[in-house]
Amino acid sequence: MAQKLLIDADPGIIDARAVLVALTDSSVELLGVTAVSGTVTGLQATRNLHYLIGLADPLRHPRVGQSDVATCAADQTPPGMPAPCLLNGRLGLGEAEPNVPDLHNRRESAKLIVDIVREYPGEVRVLTLGPLTNLALAIDLDPELPLIMQDLVCLGGAFHAGGDVTAAAEFNIWADPLAAGQVFSANFGKTLVPLDVTLGTMLTFEDIERVSGLIPSTPIGETITSLMHFSARATRQHLPREGISLPAIGALAVAARAGRYSFRPRVVDVETSGAICVGMTVADHRPGRPRQTNADVVTELDNAAVVDYFCRGIRRVAT
């Protein structure tokens, strides 16, 4: 039976790739996608999700949660970090212009999360690819939500690798540390996919050229190829890496159980104040833990399986 899944995202090229793969993955039933402000504004995240779904045109369209937030945390990144528009494009999807019309019958993201989980109690896995703002709001709306969610897979945090937005903090947690702290303290199953493991899941520049040659020249195929090539150019210019990382694909693979992974139960907290460490995720590794663990932290991914999952997924979407 397919895993019922809801994806909360702030696309961004990284999240866009995962949403496209999930739309046609037969191992998951994508019930909803909800927009959150992070890499792009909530308004643009909403438009980007509608644009991606329209391009993929899956057999069953997921419900879309809207965000009216007109700002984004990416605009507040510290000096020395590449501007998000350099890595993602002006509107988040490379050179694409996803200016779809706004819908009149809007469903706010947090409310849609509550509605879908309530519709399928105990069956819905939530995958968060952006800040945890919407899930924290959903718990505020319905305090019983943690009792009826199946579990959460969260792309976020950094423990041993250092941060990607500050020396201590990973972007998704740094963007809304109060929401992250609230979600981590809620009593339901959580699997964290941190920066430590996703940095190793990468398509080399040679892989990109090879995969691009296998993607059909359909409108969505050309969009996928364009996104990969945009990421490759931006990475060469602005980041010291030899390929493009696939963090959201790694988290989706964990949520879809598409590859082996290792994890360790940990007590995880978030630093919510301070000029240097705000947004830092801290895991208690002491052998005599003073309280019950609250998250399974992924410590290793099968990187080859994740890359294969991505390559098969984008070819399926583009066909």
CATH number of the CATH domain containing 132: 3.90.245.10
Q: What is the DSSP string of 10-63?
A: --SHHHHHHHHHHHT-TTEEEEEEEE-SSSS-HHHHHHHHHHHHHHH--SSPPE
In angstroms, the CA 9 to CA 283 distance is 24
Which pLDDT tens digit goes with each residue over 171-198? 999 999 999 999 999 999 999 999 999 9
Total structural domains within the chain: 1
| Amino acid 275: pLDDT | 82
Binned at pLDDT 50, 70 and 90, residue 1 comes out as confident
65-69, 137-141, 289-293: lowest mean pLDDT where? 289-293
In angstroms, the CA 221 to CA 226 distance is 9
Q: What is the DSSP string of 220-269?
A: HHHHHHHHHHHHHHHHHHHSS-SEEE-HHHHHHHHHHT-S-EEEEEEEEE
pTM of the model: 0.96
Instruction: Determine whether 68 is exposed, middle or buried from the number of CB atoms within 10 Å of its CB (0-12, 13-18, 19+).
Output: middle
Q: Is the peptide bond before 80 cis (omega within 30 degrees of 0)?
A: no
| Amino acid 90: pLDDT | 92
| Amino acid 6: pLDDT | 98
Length of the chain: 319
| Amino acid 51: pLDDT | 96
DSSP state of 207: H
pLDDT at 156 over 90: yes
In this prediction, what percent of the chain has a pLDDT beyond 90?
Answer: 80
Which pLDDT tens digit goes with each residue over 252-307? 999 999 989 999 999 999 999 888 899 999 998 777 766 789 999 999 999 999 99
Half-sphere exposure in the Cβ direction for 32 (13 Å, CA): 26
Average pLDDT, the chain: 93
Location of structure tokens 């309280």:
291
Query: CA 251, 77, 270 angle in degrees (round to 5)?
Result: 55
30-44, 99-113, 122-136: lowest mean pLDDT where? 99-113
Question: What range defines the domain where residue 13 resides?
Answer: 3-318
Q: Give the type of residue at 94.
A: G
pLDDT at 210 over 70: yes
DSSP state of 9: E
